[in-house]
């Protein structure tokens, strides 16, 4: 396509206005890149209260002015006991998608060099010195496109060896009498009756009378919606003596997050960079993404400021990629052993130490301490059985570095 047929030209295009695209736009606006002509475009821009993004942070949290809730204690539940732990170093935070969208949409719309557009994106086209985004009605050109609206380009698709998903249904409920402790969230209350993967209840109390109650599964197969609903109803009855007439369901969250051992591909096509989940920013062993997106977009803006070109970094250091691969193997091939691993992780370690490890901020000595707290046999088997896949990952790191 020649430049004459283009509708408009930009310095940068951000294709996809989810957590990754909006985080990148926000950081660009608050950097020397704010004078660059930038288009932020998505198929749907209407803010929706359909998701909550949670993360832990030892310092000041990002987007502190729209933090919906902060917790300083977490609770873990097993068949033997329920226990809480303080979060002295890593408080847990929650941001609502709707608040995040409204904040950044407003910043984009009020900035003279940024444009927010709602159009149906169809294809992304790459050239030697530019990239072009096509919609149903228009075409836009830029030096670089940062995309989170498409999965890997078909030529780069891979078959995961462990095709696991984190899938869940959550109910945000209110009750009449005080029932929840607003300072304590339940990270995992394990369901020992589920055998095809790891299942647990995740509870975010907003107040003494309101909470998000979510049934979450790590497995290969997604269940029918009624399955999650039955589990939540049963849990509310068993744990809180609540019947359906005792609570009101205000909204629900339904989702599916990849937990797979794919090799991250930084580029969708030349001059079209993947960001967010499309670039491997969802941590395979946990499904957490938001804080990893913040680090990715911060690094991209820093590199663009310094050199004028993005220099994408691997989502994780190699050793963390290995840890994730081993745990995925255990979940996929021996879910009951994986359940034991998870229970002992939380029973034998502090929540702060685990958050440091899962957030990939630990030292190797701290890693060894964490790994020594769980059974050795499943991991030794996983190390042997995943050796070929791990070698592929290692070669990928060598090529990128």
Evaluate if residue 3 carries a pLDDT over 50: no
**pLDDT surpassing 70 at residue 221:** yes
Task: Fill in the DSSP letter of residue 112.
Answer: T
Asked whether 341 and 323 are in contact (CB, 8 A), the reply is no
pLDDT at residue 116 tops 50 = yes
Q: What is the pLDDT of residues 30-49, one digit of tens each?
A: 999 999 999 999 999 999 99
* pTM (whole model) above 0.75: yes
Residue 359: pLDDT over 60: yes
Tell me how far apart the alpha carbons of residues 218 and 164 are, in angstroms, rounded to a whole number: 7
Spatial separation of the C-alpha atoms in residues 381 and 41, rounded to whole Å: 46
Q: What is the pLDDT of residue 297?
A: 97
In terms of Cα–Cα distance, which of 40, 64, 68, 63 is closest to 52?
68
CA pseudo-torsion sign 387, 159, 254, 315: positive
**C-beta separation of 363 from 307 below 8 A:** no
DSSP string, 269-336: ETTEEE-GGGGT-S-TTT---HHHHHHHHHHHHHHHHHHSS-----SS-HHHHHHHHHHHHHHHH-HH
97 touches 53 (CB < 8 A): yes
At the top level of CATH, the class of 3-51+95-157+262-307 is alpha beta
Mean pLDDT of 122-150: 95
Phi-psi region of 75 (alpha: psi -120 to 50; beta: other; left: phi over 0): beta
* Backbone φ/ψ region at 65: left (φ over 0), alpha (ψ -120 to 50), beta: alpha
Task: Report percent pLDDT > 70 for the chain.
Answer: 96
């Amino acid at each position: 396509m020649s430049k004459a047929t283009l509708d408009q030209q930009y310095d940068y295009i951000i294709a996809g206005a989810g957590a990754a695209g909006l985080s990148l736009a926000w950081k660009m606006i608050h950097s020397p890149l704010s004078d660059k002509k930038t288009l932020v475009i998505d198929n749907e821009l209407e803010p929706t209260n359909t998701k909550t993004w949670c993360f832990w942070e030892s310092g000041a949290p990002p987007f502190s002015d729209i933090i919906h809730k902060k917790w300083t204690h977490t609770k873990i539940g097993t068949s033997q006991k329920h226990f809480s732990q303080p979060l002295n170093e890593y408080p847990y935070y929650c941001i609502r998608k709707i608040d995040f969208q409204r904040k950044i949409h407003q910043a984009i719309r009020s900035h003279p060099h940024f444009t927010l557009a709602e159009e149906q994106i169809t294809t992304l086209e790459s050239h030697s010195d530019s990239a072009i985004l096509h919609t149903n009605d228009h075409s836009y050109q830029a030096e670089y496109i940062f995309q989170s609206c498409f999965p890997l380009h078909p030529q780069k698709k891979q078959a995961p060896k462990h095709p696991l998903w984190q899938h869940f249904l959550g109910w945000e409920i209110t009750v009449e009498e005080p029932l929840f402790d607003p300072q304590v969230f339940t990270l995992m209350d394990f369901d020992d009756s589920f055998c095809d993967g790891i299942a647990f209840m995740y509870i975010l109390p907003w107040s003494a009378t309101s909470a998000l109650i979510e049934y979450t599964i790590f497995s290969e197969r997604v269940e029918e919606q009624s399955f999650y609903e039955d589990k939540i109803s049963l849990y509310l009855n068993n744990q809180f003596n609540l019947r359906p007439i005792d609570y009101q369901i205000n909204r629900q969250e339904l989702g599916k997050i990849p937990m797979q051992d794919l090799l991250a591909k930084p580029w969708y096509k030349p001059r079209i960079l993947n960001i967010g989940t499309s670039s491997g920013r969802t941590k395979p062993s946990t499904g957490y993404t938001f804080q990893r997106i913040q680090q990715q977009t911060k690094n991209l803006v820093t590199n663009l400021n310094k050199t004028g070109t993005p220099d994408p970094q691997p989502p994780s250091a190699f050793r963390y990629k290995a840890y994730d691969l081993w745990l995925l193997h255990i979940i996929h091939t021996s879910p009951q052993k994986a359940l034991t691993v998870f229970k002992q992780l939380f029973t034998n370690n502090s929540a702060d130490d685990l958050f440091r490890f899962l957030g990939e901020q630990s030292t190797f000595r701290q890693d060894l301490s964490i790994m020594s707290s769980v059974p050795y046999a499943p991991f030794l088997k996983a190390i042997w059985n995943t050796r070929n896949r791990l070698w592929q990952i290692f070669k990928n790191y060598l090529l990128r570095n």
